[in-house]
Amino acid sequence: MSGNELKLIVAVLIGLVFLVLWILKRRNQATGKRALESVTSEMLASADDRDRKVLLELKAGGTAKLRAALARSKQGRWEERAYYVSLAPYVARVELEGWCAREPQSVDALLLRAEHLIAWAWTARGEGRAHDVGGDDWKMYFERLRLARADLEKCIELDHADPTPWGVMLRTVDGEADPEAKIRTYLDKALACDPNGFAALWRAIALLGPRWYGSRESTLGLARQHAHNSSAESGSEHAMLLFRAHFEVWFHLDVFEGNRSATDAWLASNEVRAELDRAYAASLGAPSHRRTRMTSTLRNYAAVTFYRMRDRVRLKRELELLGVAAAGGPWSMLGEGSLEDAQRFAQ
């Protein structure tokens, strides 16, 4: 047997091993016996002590601390509540189904199941572009979104004061008639419950950008409307909404339109740079800024923007503050190797 033949056999065997592992993972997800996502070291590194305990228990397969945290968050701690609900994909579906069966009127259980259903819908659809999704996958995707909406509607019926279901509902508009109008309605409902709410705004700004259901004008308009919320404290992270809106604009130009020169021109614009400078100075760069559960996410968006603007000084600052939490999010969207290249540039 030649060396090339041996290499081919080894490659085939390795491929078969990965195929078997993939099939087993899909089977476990289909039966709901395992969580859709696994807690990562980056999540643990960016969490405070209390949240780290919740994450470590989820990693071990437990949910008692997450349930207790959700119960505490009902007392108007809405941003905290949004964070804990977002952890639903780290819980096995059978656990959530059992909880909902035992306590069919539990808003906490229904919220977690709805969030999980949305994540499960995306496992069917995949993260690729729409034209790459098969017919059966679309069918599963929309059915799971429908089930999520049903749970969220029941949450709203049970607790009119909670903005969280409206914020989660934003992620179910795909396939609905006039999704842009629904996004604005759901956002208005969430803000009526919590005028200083951030999570729903952050989500809506992405959805109203050119990648999804809006335009550069709609995403920037919404960000500018709320970035300098008069009721927010000095150093509030609301100003970072502008970084997300501008990201949606230049990322669409770069990746979806493939227009690198237009992307560079956008980020080189004096008006854009001045607006982002003010936003950064009022939020992450402000002496009065205080860390929240969103801070690591926001620092990643700031860092990826400074990287594309070739702002070495502020990029280095943000990467140093992030440490191992510099990962995922906008970096994975920008493409493999972008974070490593940014880290080299920052040095």
Domain residue ranges of the chain, discontinuous segments joined by +: 34-188, 195-347
Nearby residues of 134 by Cβ (< 8 Å), 6 or more positions away:
none
DSSP code for 289: -
Closest to 206 measured CA to CA, from 267, 163, 249:
249
Give the tokens for residue 204: 């809506």
pLDDT tens-digit series, residues 175-192: 989 999 999 999 999 999
For the chain, percent of residues with pLDDT exceeding 90:
80
Residue 116 CB: number of other CB atoms within 10 A?
28
Give dist(CA 93, CA 151) in Å, integer. Answer: 14
Give the tokens for residue 194: 């919590």
Helix axes 78-85, 199-207, angle to 10 degrees: 60
DSSP code for 73: T
Q: What is the pTM of this model?
A: 0.87
Dihedral sign for Cα atoms in the order 182, 184, 185, 187? positive
Give dist(CA 89, CA 36) in Å, integer. Answer: 5
In one letter, which amino acid is 48? D
24, pLDDT greater than 50: no
Residue 7 CB: number of other CB atoms within 10 A?
10
Helix (H) or strand (E) segment spanning residue 256: none
| Alpha carbon distances (Å) from 12 to 15, 20, 285 | 5, 12, 52
34, pLDDT greater than 90: no
19, pLDDT greater than 90: no
Residue 49 CB: number of other CB atoms within 10 A?
6
| Alpha carbon distances (Å) from 230 to 183, 225, 226, 227, 236 | 23, 10, 9, 9, 10
- What's residue 228's pLDDT? 81
Give dist(CA 319, CA 144) in Å, integer. Answer: 37
| Cβ pair 326, 300 in contact under 8 A | yes
For residues 27-35, average pLDDT:
63
- What's residue 291's pLDDT? 92
